[in-house]
Amino acid sequence: MEEWNETYEQWLEWMDQGAYLNLREDLNEENPANVAEFLEELPVEKKLFVFRLLSRDMAADAFSFLDNDTQEMLVTSISDNEVRNIVDNMFLDDTVDFLEEAPPELVGKVLRNTHPETRKLINQFLHYPENSAGSLMTVEFVHLNEAMTAGRAMELIRKIGLDKETIYTCYVLDRKNRLIGVVPLRTLLLADEKTRVGELMEEDVIRVTTLDDQEEAAAVFRKYSLMALPVVDGEERLVGIITIDDIVDVIDEETTEDMEKMAALLPSDDEYLKTPVTKLAKNRIVWLCVLMISGTLSSMIIGGYQSILDEAVQLATFIPVLTGTGGNAGSQASAMIIRGMALDEVRPRDSLRVLGKEIQVGLICGMLLGTLNMVKQTIFSPATNVMVDLTVSISMGAVVVVAKAMGCLLPIGAKVCKLDPAIMAGPLITTVVDAVALLIFFNIASSLVL
């Protein structure tokens, strides 16, 4: 990081001094991701100038790392010929990623300046459902036929490999372009040159279809530790591959979305500092209203048991402790289950096993918390009615058990109903558990205190 800061300062110094030849030479030898970061930090009036210092290859590579705002600004400002150079040198999936977020006029400008075959592929990709495997894939992959020898395959890879996004895994197709096997580059390198690809390939190929959800593709990558994943159509024809860099982006997006839902926010793809205040408020107010309205249920329950509170005023002081403990216990369980479902470790069919496990955890935690509360009250609040202390301790144990059970069942229920389990976390489950905790508390109190 320190070395990068020194490089960044050096580039700024060269810009101030007008040493543009030095800047150009250094930029074109740098990692494209670092060049993109440097461009994003520059004032708007300097971005275009510095971008035009880049070589054709570096401009295309760095462009794919830029944020959407900078990409749109550059495409709007540069000439048609420069747009053509960028598109021709970018991998197809990076071009599609940009166009999916770009306004219509920029999409038109890019498509006008692409080769007809590339334009056809881009349009095909743009018509795949959003967040599907088809929308993620690239067509820059190496494909072989089974009759080819290992030596001939290596010659082909040397010839076309530079334009492919990955060459580490090669795909074997039949005459109808159906995927029949895969062969790692390492296998080809170590094999006898006269050995046929059909003898070297692995026929059991892990694949997804174009319409599979991107989360399913991410789960496959995670389960099998893949670097690339073939994508086939309904007739098992290979139409593209998904590479690990795209899946990392998907995992990042899905994690962010789940975090936002768990915090009772509407998901947003925008960066925080670039999001207008009005949009931030809009993303939050919906769930705040839902939680406020659902929170009135707790007020209604308290009002319905007002007579109990009138008889034992001390009970009211323990309501925040009980509801807080219940909410925390429920949130712990829901967080674990949501994570388990995200990693495909927990499935709806496991609901009874999960429920049994969480009830056992709840019993242990509930008994310990109830006992600790009784000891605390005895030592620090000896003036409190003993039956009130007993009521709170028993209620706390029961609330923890019920909260753990609800915390595991609600996310599983959401999954069964085709909803995102993440919505059953944090604020929402706390609100539900609060109401249940109050019902348990007042019913136990009516038996022990009154």
CB atoms within 10 A of CB 197: 22
- Report pLDDT for 242: 93
Average pLDDT, integer, range 382-410 = 90
Residue 166 pLDDT exceeds 80 = yes
Coil, helix or strand for 103? coil
Task: Give the 3-state secondary structure of residue 180.
Answer: strand
Predicted local confidence at residue 300, as pLDDT: 85
pLDDT at 303: 83
Residue with tokens 């308290």: 302
Write out the two tokens for 374: 């009784």
Cα gap 291→427, rounded to integer Å: 7
Domain boundaries, the chain: 2-127, 143-253, 272-448
Listed residue (100, 101, 104) closest to 122, CA to CA: 100
Q: Is 18 left (phi over 0), alpha (psi -120 to 50) or beta?
A: left
Q: Which residue has the higher pLDDT, 150 or 219?
A: 150
CATH class of the domain comprising 143-253: alpha beta
Element containing residue 91 per DSSP (H, E): none
Residue 26, pLDDT above cutoff 70:
yes
Dist CA 21 CA 15 (whole Å): 10
Residue 263 pLDDT = 62
Out of 77-91, 238-252, 274-288, pick the least confident. Answer: 274-288
pLDDT per residue as tens digits for the range 31-85: 998 999 999 888 888 889 999 999 988 998 899 889 888 888 888 888 888 888 8
Provide the pLDDT for residue 266.
64
Measured distance CA(51)–CA(86) in Å, rounded: 11
Residue 215 in tokens: 């989360």
Partners of residue 231 on adjacent β-strands: 208, 240
Q: What is the pLDDT of residue 154?
A: 95
Local confidence band at 339 (pLDDT 50, 70, 90 cut-offs): confident
User: How would residue 1 be classed by pLDDT, with cut points 50, 70 and 90?
Assistant: low
Strand locations in 90-226, DSSP E? 143-145, 169-173, 179-184, 208-209
The CATH architecture annotation of domain 272-448 reads Orthogonal Bundle (1.10)
> What's the alpha-carbon Rg for the chain, to the nearest Å?
30
- Please state which of the ranges 89-98, 227-236, 369-378 shows the lowest mean pLDDT: 89-98
Beta-strand runs (E) in 142-237: 143-145, 169-173, 179-184, 208-209, 228-232
The pLDDT, as a whole number, for residue 105 is 75
Q: What is the pLDDT of residues 117-149, one digit of tens each?
A: 787 787 778 788 888 998 888 888 999 999 999
Position 87 pLDDT exceeds 90: no
Higher pLDDT, 253 or 16: 16
Q: Which CATH architecture has domain 2-127?
A: Alpha Horseshoe (1.25)
| % of the chain at pLDDT higher than 90 | 34
Q: Which two tokens stand for residue 278?
A: 């009005």
- Which of helix, strand or coil describes residue 28? coil
Residue 100 in this model has a pLDDT that exceeds 90: no
> Comparing C-alpha atoms, which of 62, 49, 61 is closest to residue 23?
49
Confidence of residue 269 (pLDDT cuts 50, 70, 90): low
Asked if the model's pLDDT at residue 394 lies above 70, the reply is yes
* Token code pair at residue 275: 């999001």
Closest CA to 244 of 142, 93, 129, 101: 93
| pLDDT of 257 above 80 | no
